[in-house]
């Protein structure tokens, strides 16, 4: 009940204080294990993804540094969020995330692991490829633009414009046990390029010239 009320309030605030354009929500599965992979621009990314969902079996990975903020701490705990130490390998958080996927939940995660100082994509980390390997959940890419510095613009009534694009679902191939590192990197690049393909060019960052991104854009 608290989760549904929170989602309603957030949707109203985004409607009232922003121009938020959302497309592709039909690509989010109505049930079953799913990983939503997003780019990370700012503090509003997680709430934006949260309002996309009509499912209550959803959680996400959130940086432990945000736990100091009492409002954010309450929001994350209300949404069954998973706190993760982004500065160090956090096996406990990954195990918790995997347990939710085993139960058929949606898991939201930013493969970059942190916000980019330039707001353009930085290299993705391999944690999501690790999570996806044995369970083989559906992966749905989500591209977000315009949210950098968005909280201040929202509450100074500047009517910021946010864009959220949900891409087509796909599966990653199983990791090659004979060359696990290279296979992990390839799957990570696939996830990041699928996000990059839905973003304006200035947000594509280190993936701008990636051959796989060029293939995806060319269709």
Domain count, the chain: 1
- Look at residue 12 and tell me if it is in a domain: no
Strands (DSSP E) contained in the chain are 19-23, 34-38, 58-63, 82-84, 106-109, 138-145, 161-166
- Look at residue 71 and tell me if it is in a domain: yes
- Look at residue 4 and tell me if it is in a domain: no
- Look at residue 60 and tell me if it is in a domain: yes
- Look at residue 167 and tell me if it is in a domain: yes
Going by pLDDT thresholds of 50, 70 and 90, the confidence category of residue 86 is: confident
What's the CA gap between 189 and 195, in Å, rounded?
A: 10
> What's the average model confidence in pLDDT over 130-139?
89
pLDDT at 1 over 70: no
pLDDT at 43 over 90: no
Range(s) of the domain holding residue 130: 22-218
Highest mean pLDDT among 34-48, 65-79, 83-97: 34-48
Which pLDDT score, from 0 to 100, does residue 78 have?
Answer: 80
Mean confidence (pLDDT) of the chain: 91
- Look at residue 16 and tell me if it is in a domain: no
- Look at residue 7 and tell me if it is in a domain: no
pLDDT at 12 over 80: yes
Type and span of the H or E element at 118: none
Which pLDDT score, from 0 to 100, does residue 170 have?
Answer: 97
> What's the average model confidence in pLDDT over 106-134?
90
Which pLDDT score, from 0 to 100, does residue 85 have?
Answer: 84
- Look at residue 92 and tell me if it is in a domain: yes
Kindly state the percentage of the chain with pLDDT values over 90.
Answer: 59
> Are 48 and 27 spatial neighbours (Cβ–Cβ below 8 Å)?
no
Kindly state the percentage of the chain with pLDDT values over 70.
Answer: 100
Q: Considering only CA atoms, give the Rg of the chain.
A: 17
pLDDT digits (tens, 9 = 90+) for 156-168: 889 999 999 999 9
């Amino acid at each position: 009940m608290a989760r549904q009320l929170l989602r309603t309030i957030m949707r109203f605030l985004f409607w009232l204080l922003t121009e938020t354009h959302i497309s592709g929500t039909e690509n989010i599965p109505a049930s079953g294990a799913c990983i939503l992979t997003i780019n990370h621009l700012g503090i509003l990314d997680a709430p934006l993804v949260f309002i996309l969902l009509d499912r209550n079996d959803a959680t996400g990975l959130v940086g432990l540094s945000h736990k100091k903020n009492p409002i954010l701490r309450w929001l994350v705990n209300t949404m069954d969020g998973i706190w993760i130490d982004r500065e160090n390998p956090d096996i406990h958080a990954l195990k918790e995330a995997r347990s939710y996927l085993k139960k058929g939940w949606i898991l939201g995660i930013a493969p970059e692991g942190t916000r980019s100082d330039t707001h353009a994509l930085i290299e993705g980390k391999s944690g999501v490829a690790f999570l996806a390997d044995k369970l083989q959940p559906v992966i749905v890419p989500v591209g977000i633009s315009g949210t950098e510095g968005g909280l201040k613009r929202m509450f100074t009534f500047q009517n910021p414009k946010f864009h959220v694009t949900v891409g087509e679902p796909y599966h990653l191939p199983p990791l090659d046990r004979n060359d696990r590192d290279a296979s992990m990197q390839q799957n990570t690049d696939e996830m990041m390029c699928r996000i990059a393909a839905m973003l304006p060019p200035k947000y594509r960052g280190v993936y701008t010239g990636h051959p796989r991104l060029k293939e995806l854009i060319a269709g």
